[in-house]
Amino acid sequence: MNKVIGLDLGSVTCGVAVSDELGFLAHPVKTIRFKEHDIDPLLNELETLLESHQVKVVVLGLPLHMNGDVGERARASLEFKEILEEAFGVEVIMMDERFSTRSSERQLISMNVSRKKRKKIIDQAAAVEILQRYLDSKKEKVHE
């Protein structure tokens, strides 16, 4: 299995995680910062990561509302999916990310990570959670 990259896209940050080569575990990579209406730096960094990890599949968090509705942030993620597919020729899989940031924050708190440090790595932790959910769902399908 090729490596898979997971993304937690925000309005000015993007958390990045990558799987191991076997597709079992997601690992944090980095948080990419960019200006709200200028995603070129984000795309440049992602291109480098996609090439260096030889990635063909990207899992992108879809921030739906609690009732499942698609809001402004989810629309931005869906638009970003199209940009990634067109720019890099990768398959982009949308993964419901409701609770991922909150769950990641609770986990970091339970590990006694300081508030200052949590702020720096929360996007990466959310990307790990999004990607791990995808990897786990792939394993479950194999065992069915």
Structural domain for 44, as ranges: 4-143
pLDDT digits (tens, 9 = 90+) for 83-128: 999 999 999 999 988 665 666 666 666 766 666 665 667 788 899 9
Number of domains in the chain: 1
pLDDT digits (tens, 9 = 90+) for 75-88: 999 999 999 999 99
Q: What is the pLDDT of residue 142?
A: 57
The pair of structure tokens assigned to 15 is 């958390």
- For 37, residues 6+ apart whose C-beta sits below 8 A from its C-beta are none
Q: What is the pLDDT of residue 72?
A: 86
Q: What is the pLDDT of residue 30?
A: 95
- Output the domain CATH number for residue 61: 3.30.420.140
3 state DSSP class of 115: helix
Reported confidence tier of residue 69, pLDDT bands at 50, 70, 90:
confident
CA distance to 28, 52, 94, 114, per residue, from 130 (Å): 11, 21, 10, 22
Q: What is the pLDDT of residue 67?
A: 77
Closest to 77 (Cα-Cα) out of 100, 56, 110: 100
